[in-house]
């Protein structure tokens, strides 16, 4: 009889629903990504700039980036030396997407713009900047503060940063300034002097490189390129003589922010690179002091990278963006006024490499607005040392080379020996004064100072290069590769002169146990060196020891976020889940409906049913009872539901309908009454890596009951494995495992024994033995329930029978009743003669072969062996 499928299988429906939902979500995500607003709209034009000194007009190549919404504040971006407006394309697009009108342009003398390079001279480049502000004031998309005064910020790196500061000092329509890695005094940057007594040593490699970078093909002579003639002439004079003359000094001063710092009223963001030998941190320091002295808000960021190192342009753009958001749009919160990066202070969790950490000082930049600068004192020692400068300035020590700083720096790794050691520190040219190992780690942030006594043996001036080294047990690191040149003039040959020198401004975390080493050298490849051979004597001002004043900063690490919230969430989640599971489990446990009337009935099954998700009914409304001392056979063809009933009997499967009571207790998974049942269901289950004896013992001990209750002797005899009991179960045959499993079911001699096809795989003597065991078992008042589809077996072994077919109960009762009337048999030794006798008496008789003759014969044969 075929059951009609009334509805679709439940399981398949959920799967289909999930797939459709997933597809919809995926389609939505793709749609959102694809229809994101497209790129920014750009307008490229030429804007008229300031004409050249000979009257020739100059056109500046500009590009305007328009955001989605108007009107918006404007940002003027200026590029670095030797580049043009295309360098700023990515930055401009990102800022435009953030909602600004961005104007990028190629400065005069670069890219497609006309004119000559005047090095940010006020009359030319800065005037161009003002003209561009006028241009922006005419744009409709730019927000205006008043007529002709747009809301505008200026930002740039290096050359562009200088322009930003100079423009802010001259044109007061500028509302906010961002200057990255730029200078304060071009003369001090190109002719640095650690003794602060006039112009110092010419930074020849950087100056020459910069001169070359702007060289382009120009209308004037090949040696000057696109430089204005006065700039070019000044540079060439300085390069030949090594000192700036008056004309050059005037020129450099006009092009430096130091001349107009007093008139900057727009809030300024100063970013400076820690790996920068062209414009070191001291330039930003001077800018900050000058601007803040007139009450203008200043924020300072010292970032890793700079002219010598690779920098993350994203970090600079983000800093500019948040600065302009706060100042031009009053959006977002202000972070702390001073931030700096400490290299090698953290470990990246992604790659395991050292990374830099950002620290911030909430109080603000030390040295401005009346804040004190923090210093620590470290004692260095050393006797006076003689050092010499070679003739021709050759060989010269290598500290850092323009654009190659990163490569050299990488070589000074944490643990490796420096491959450039031999050329960065040349013997005979270097005097060293070392401190004792530091007891604690120390953060050096800023420029340290020291007093030395210098004696020039044969000359009236001295050129030295001082630096601070970090000496570990097997490492010698020059932080950022920076040295400061010192130029002392007006000396008397052979007479000592005491000077206070400023060391390079660096940021470094010195580990405990490392030493600080003050190094004084006579050569450096990046600077212009004297050609005559010289000798100096260098000593510490305090005799054998001297106090080195180390600049430091009291800062805390930026640690955004609230990590404790995560931990609390985790603990709460654990507690919630535990409570939820416990509550749910308790709710599921039905109120134990003990039935005291059934306390003596081993099994009472009432209207039991099991229906699966697809509508298939394995057991359908089965009701029967089993009394004490019975051997009950559960009979039925394959698929009748016998095994399902037995699994439900021991709580492995939950019925969908009906109840099972064993000794009056309802059956649930884990019910205590199951301890009174010994089960063997659908085959043996042993741990193959343990022996049979260990399996039995561990099984019994898993029940928590004392070992004596198990009656191992009986069980082992039932199993009948002999010496094999101590071999690993994986070596057993199926029959051995079967017998052992039945013995395991009998451990502790349970009151109810449930066996599912126990004779499966046993040979006839074992089957007969099993039959006898089960019958004797029942005689002791215990109950046995066997399921089988072998009719003959059930008839022989059982006292009662329950017959099932396709999940329903067909018949239940004693074997005697069901198997029909007990037909009697008469056994005679000579059947043929008996038939004759009966025929003579008039009774028809028929000889039929005796039932089960083969089994009798076979058993006799085997028993005799």
Partner 1 sequence: MAVSDNHRTEAPTRRGVHERLGVLPPAGEPVPFDPRRTLPLRIEFIRQLKRRRTQLVALVLLLLPILVAIAFKVGGQQTSGGAALVDIATTGATNFALFTEFAAIGFLLVVIVALFCGDTVASEASWSSLRYLLAVPVPRSRLLRQKLVVSLTLSFGANLLLPLWGYVVGGLFFGWAPARSPLGGSFTTSEAVTRLVIVVGYACVQSLVVAGLAFLLGVMTDAPLGAVGGAVLLVVVSNILDSISALDPYRRYLPTHYQYSWLDALGPTVVWDDMLRGIGLSLVYAAVFLGAAWVRFQRKDITS
Among 796, 806, 808, 831, binds partner 1 (CB under 8 A): 796
Cross-strand partners of 536: 387, 456
Please choose, out of 33-41, 251-259, 779-787, 839-847, the segment that lies near partner 1 by the rule CB under 8 A. Answer: 779-787
Among 90, 197, 263, 717, binds partner 1 (CB under 8 A): 717
Inter-CA distances, 776 with 756, 769, 771, 799, Å: 18, 11, 9, 12
Q: How many CB atoms lie within 10 A of CB 211?
A: 21
Among 554, 597, 600, 772, binds partner 1 (CB under 8 A): 772
Among 351, 377, 846, 847, binds partner 1 (CB under 8 A): 351
Q: Binding to partner 1 (CB under 8 A): which residues in 433-452?
A: 441
Q: To which H or E segment does residue 328 belong?
A: helix 313-328
Residues 6+ apart with CB under 8 A from 802: 624, 632, 633, 634, 635, 809, 811, 812
Q: Binding to partner 1 (CB under 8 A): which residues in 63-122?
A: none
Among 326, 677, 696, 725, binds partner 1 (CB under 8 A): 677
Among 37, 295, 704, 820, binds partner 1 (CB under 8 A): 704
Closest C-alpha to 389, from 203, 524, 241: 524
Please choose, out of 117-125, 262-270, 393-401, 777-785, the segment that lies near partner 1 by the rule CB under 8 A. Answer: 777-785
Closest C-alpha to 132, from 3, 45, 52, 214: 45
Please choose, out of 164-172, 426-434, 545-553, 676-684, the segment that lies near partner 1 by the rule CB under 8 A. Answer: 676-684
Cross-strand partners of 519: 432, 467
Per-residue string for binding with partner 1, 373-412, x by CB under 8 A? -------------------------------------x--
Compute the least distance from the CB of residue 694 to partner 1, in Å: 8
Closest C-alpha to 537, from 383, 384, 429: 384
Please choose, out of 177-185, 265-273, 281-289, 672-680, the segment that lies near partner 1 by the rule CB under 8 A. Answer: 672-680
User: Is residue 650 involved in binding partner 1 (CB under 8 A)?
Assistant: yes
User: Is residue 350 involved in binding partner 1 (CB under 8 A)?
Assistant: yes
User: Is residue 561 involved in binding partner 1 (CB under 8 A)?
Assistant: yes
Q: 386-401 as b/e, with b when 16 or more CB fall inside 10 Å? A: ebebbeebeebbbbbb
Inter-CA distances, 77 with 67, 158, 169, Å: 15, 12, 16
Contact between 493 and 460 under an 8 Å Cβ cutoff? The reply is yes
Q: Which CB sits closer to partner 1, 833 or 851?
A: 851
Measured in degrees and rounded to the nearest 5, phi and psi for residue 466 equal: -110, 150
Please choose, out of 102-110, 461-469, 542-550, 766-774, the segment that lies near partner 1 by the rule CB under 8 A. Answer: 766-774
Compute the least distance from the CB of residue 379 to partner 1, in Å: 21
Please choose, out of 277-285, 324-332, 496-504, 568-576, the segment that lies near partner 1 by the rule CB under 8 A. Answer: 568-576
Q: What DSSP character marks residue 299?
A: E
Contact between 517 and 430 under an 8 Å Cβ cutoff? The reply is no
Closest C-alpha to 99, from 61, 151, 60: 151
Please choose, out of 70-78, 102-110, 511-519, 829-837, the segment that lies near partner 1 by the rule CB under 8 A. Answer: 511-519
Compute the least distance from the CB of residue 711 to partner 1, in Å: 9
Contact between 334 and 439 under an 8 Å Cβ cutoff? The reply is no
User: Is residue 315 involved in binding partner 1 (CB under 8 A)?
Assistant: no
Among 690, 762, 834, 835, binds partner 1 (CB under 8 A): 690
Measured in degrees and rounded to the nearest 5, phi and psi for residue 14 equal: -65, -40
Q: Which CB sits closer to partner 1, 133 or 650?
A: 650
Size of the site for partner 1 (CB under 8 A): 114
Contact between 214 and 117 under an 8 Å Cβ cutoff? The reply is yes
Compute the least distance from the CB of residue 584 to partner 1, in Å: 7
State the Cα–Cα distance between residues 213 and 208, nearest whole angstrom: 9
Among 487, 514, 528, 661, binds partner 1 (CB under 8 A): 514
User: Is residue 346 involved in binding partner 1 (CB under 8 A)?
Assistant: yes
Measured in degrees and rounded to the nearest 5, phi and psi for residue 342 equal: -115, 120
Contact between 253 and 244 under an 8 Å Cβ cutoff? The reply is no
Strand pairing class (298-303; 268-273):
parallel
Q: Binding to partner 1 (CB under 8 A): which residues in 169-208?
A: none
State the Cα–Cα distance between residues 449 and 521, nearest whole angstrom: 16
Q: Binding to partner 1 (CB under 8 A): which residues in 814-833?
A: 815-816
Q: Binding to partner 1 (CB under 8 A): which residues in 845-864?
A: 859-860, 862-863
User: Is residue 781 involved in binding partner 1 (CB under 8 A)?
Assistant: yes
Is 532 in a helix, a strand, or coil? coil
Among 332, 637, 683, 735, binds partner 1 (CB under 8 A): 683
Compute the least distance from the CB of residue 17 to partner 1, in Å: 20
Compute the least distance from the CB of residue 851 to partner 1, in Å: 11
State the Cα–Cα distance between residues 265 and 286, nearest whole angstrom: 16
Among 703, 731, 733, 836, binds partner 1 (CB under 8 A): 703
Q: Binding to partner 1 (CB under 8 A): which residues in 735-764?
A: 744, 748-749, 751
Closest C-alpha to 227, from 52, 23, 448, 450: 52
Q: Which CB sits closer to partner 1, 214 or 681?
A: 681
State the maximum Cα–Cα separation within the chain, in Å, rounded to a whole number: 165
User: Is residue 630 involved in binding partner 1 (CB under 8 A)?
Assistant: yes
Q: Which CB sits closer to partner 1, 118 or 647?
A: 647
Per-residue string for binding with partner 1, 520-559, x by CB under 8 A? -------------------------------------x-x
User: Is residue 647 involved in binding partner 1 (CB under 8 A)?
Assistant: yes
State the Cα–Cα distance between residues 649 and 528, nearest whole angstrom: 99
Compute the least distance from the CB of residue 778 to partner 1, in Å: 8
State the Cα–Cα distance between residues 320 and 316, nearest whole angstrom: 6
Is 610 in a helix, a strand, or coil? strand
Q: Binding to partner 1 (CB under 8 A): which residues in 239-278?
A: none
User: Is residue 629 involved in binding partner 1 (CB under 8 A)?
Assistant: yes
Inter-CA distances, 573 with 321, 566, 586, Å: 39, 10, 20
Please choose, out of 29-37, 59-67, 147-155, 773-781, the segment that lies near partner 1 by the rule CB under 8 A. Answer: 773-781
Q: Binding to partner 1 (CB under 8 A): which residues in 574-603?
A: 574, 576-578, 580-581, 584-585, 588
State the Cα–Cα distance between residues 330 and 151, nearest whole angstrom: 12
User: Is residue 566 involved in binding partner 1 (CB under 8 A)?
Assistant: yes
User: Is residue 720 involved in binding partner 1 (CB under 8 A)?
Assistant: yes
Please choose, out of 109-117, 386-394, 458-466, 710-718, the segment that lies near partner 1 by the rule CB under 8 A. Answer: 710-718
Among 30, 70, 571, 792, binds partner 1 (CB under 8 A): 571
Q: Which two tokens stand for residue 705?
A: 């009951």
Contact between 87 and 77 under an 8 Å Cβ cutoff? The reply is no
Compute the least distance from the CB of residue 405 to partner 1, in Å: 17
Please choose, out of 120-128, 195-203, 518-526, 697-705, the segment that lies near partner 1 by the rule CB under 8 A. Answer: 697-705
State the Cα–Cα distance between residues 175 and 100, nearest whole angstrom: 14
Category of 65 on φ-ψ map: left (φ > 0), alpha (ψ -120 to 50) or beta: beta
Cross-strand partners of 752: 677, 783
User: Is residue 638 involved in binding partner 1 (CB under 8 A)?
Assistant: no
Contact between 509 and 218 under an 8 Å Cβ cutoff? The reply is no
User: Is residue 43 involved in binding partner 1 (CB under 8 A)?
Assistant: no
Q: Binding to partner 1 (CB under 8 A): which residues in 455-494?
A: 472
Q: 138-158 as b/e, with b when 16 or more CB fall inside 10 Å? A: ebebbbbeeeeebbbbbbbbb
Among 672, 824, 848, 853, binds partner 1 (CB under 8 A): 672
Cross-strand partners of 377: 549
């Amino acid at each position: 009889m075929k059951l009609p499928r009334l509805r679709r299988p439940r399981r398949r429906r959920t799967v289909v629903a999930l797939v459709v939902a997933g597809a919809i979500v995926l389609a939505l995500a793709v749609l959102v990504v694809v229809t994101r607003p497209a790129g920014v709209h750009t307008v490229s034009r030429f804007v008229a700039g300031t004409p050249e000194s000979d009257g020739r007009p100059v056109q500046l190549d500009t590009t305007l980036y328009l955001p989605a919404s108007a009107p918006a504040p404007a940002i003027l971006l200026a590029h670095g030396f030797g580049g043009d407006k295309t360098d700023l394309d990515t930055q401009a697009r990102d800022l435009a997407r953030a909602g600004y009108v961005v104007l990028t342009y190629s400065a005069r003398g670069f890219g497609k713009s006309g004119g000559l390079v005047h090095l940010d001279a006020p009359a030319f480049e800065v005037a161009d900047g003002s003209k561009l502000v006028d241009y922006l004031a005419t744009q409709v998309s730019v927000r205006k503060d008043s007529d002709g005064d747009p809301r505008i910020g200026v930002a740039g790196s290096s050359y562009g940063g200088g322009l930003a500061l100079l423009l802010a000092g001259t044109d007061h329509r500028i509302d906010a300034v961002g200057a990255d890695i730029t200078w304060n005094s071009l003369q001090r940057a190109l002719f640095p002097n650690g003794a602060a007594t006039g112009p110092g040593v010419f930074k020849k490699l950087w100056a020459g490189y910069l001169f070359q970078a702007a060289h382009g093909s120009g209308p004037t002579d090949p040696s000057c390129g696109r430089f204005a003639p006065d700039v070019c002439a000044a540079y060439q004079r300085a390069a030949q003589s090594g000192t700036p003359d008056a004309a050059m000094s005037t020129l450099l001063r006009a092009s430096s922010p130091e001349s107009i710092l007093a008139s900057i009223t727009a809030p300024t963001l100063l970013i400076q690179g820690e790996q920068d030998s062209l414009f070191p941190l001291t330039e930003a320091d001077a800018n900050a002091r000058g601007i803040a002295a007139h009450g203008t808000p200043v924020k300072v960021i010292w970032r890793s990278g700079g002219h010598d190192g690779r920098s993350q342009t994203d970090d600079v753009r983000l800093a500019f963006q948040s600065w302009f958001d706060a100042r031009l749009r009053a959006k977002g919160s202000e972070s702390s006024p001073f931030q700096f990066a400490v290299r090698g202070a953290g470990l990246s969790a992604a790659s395991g490499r050292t990374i830099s950490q950002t620290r911030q000082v909430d109080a603000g930049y030390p040295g401005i607005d009346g804040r004190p600068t923090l210093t620590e004192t470290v004692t260095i020692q050393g006797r006076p040392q003689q050092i010499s400068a070679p003739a021709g300035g050759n060989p010269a020590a290598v500290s850092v080379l323009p654009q190659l700083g990163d490569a050299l720096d990488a070589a000074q790794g944490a643990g490796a020996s420096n491959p450039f050691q031999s050329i960065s520190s040349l013997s005979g040219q270097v005097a060293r004064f070392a401190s004792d190992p530091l007891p604690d780690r120390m953060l050096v942030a800023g420029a340290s100072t020291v007093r030395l006594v210098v004696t020039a043996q044969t000359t009236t001036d001295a050129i030295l290069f001082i630096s601070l080294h970090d000496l570990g047990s097997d490492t010698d690191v020059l932080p950022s590769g920076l040295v400061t040149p010192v130029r002392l003039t007006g000396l008397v040959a052979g007479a000592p002169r005491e000077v206070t020198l400023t060391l390079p401004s660096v940021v470094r975390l010195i580990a405990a146990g490392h030493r600080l080493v003050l190094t004084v050298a006579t050569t450096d490849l990046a600077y212009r060196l004297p050609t005559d051979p010289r000798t100096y004597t260098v000593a510490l001002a305090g005799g054998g020891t001297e106090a080195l004043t180390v600049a430091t900063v009291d800062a805390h690490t930026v640690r955004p976020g609230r990590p404790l919230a995560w931990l609390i969430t985790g603990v709460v989640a654990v507690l919630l889940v535990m409570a939820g599971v416990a509550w749910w489990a308790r709710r599921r446990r039905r109120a134990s409906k003990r039935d005291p009337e059934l306390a003596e009935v081993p099994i009472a099954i009432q209207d039991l049913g099991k229906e699966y998700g697809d509508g298939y009914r394995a057991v359908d409304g089965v009701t029967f009872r089993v009394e004490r001392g019975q051997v009950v056979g559960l009979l039925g063809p394959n698929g009748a539901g016998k095994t399902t009933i037995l699994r439900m009997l021991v709580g492995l499967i939950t019925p969908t309908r009906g109840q099972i009571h064993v000794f009056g207790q309802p059956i649930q998974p884990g019910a205590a009454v199951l301890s009174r049942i010994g089960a063997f269901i659908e085959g043996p289950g042993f741990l193959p890596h343990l022996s049979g004896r260990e399996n039995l013992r561990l099984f019994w001990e898993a029940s928590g009951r004392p070992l004596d209750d198990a009656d191992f002797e009986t069980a082992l005899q039932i199993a009948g494995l002999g010496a094999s009991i101590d071999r690993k179960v994986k070596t057993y045959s199926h029959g051995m495992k079967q017998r052992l499993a039945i013995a395991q079911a009998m451990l502790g001699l349970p009151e109810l024994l449930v066996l599912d096809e126990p004779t499966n795989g046993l040979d006839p003597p074992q089957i007969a033995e099993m039959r006898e065991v089960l019958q004797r078992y029942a005689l002791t008042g215990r109950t046995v329930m066997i399921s089988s589809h072998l009719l003959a077996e059930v008839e022989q072994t059982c006292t009662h029978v329950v017959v099932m077919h396709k999940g329903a109960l067909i018949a239940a009762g004693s074997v005697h009743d069901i198997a029909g009337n007990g037909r009697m048999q008469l056994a005679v030794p000579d059947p043929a003669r008996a038939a004759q006798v009966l025929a003579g008496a008039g009774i028809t008789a028929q000889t039929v072969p005796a039932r089960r003759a083969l089994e009798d014969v076979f058993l006799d044969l085997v028993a005799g062996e």
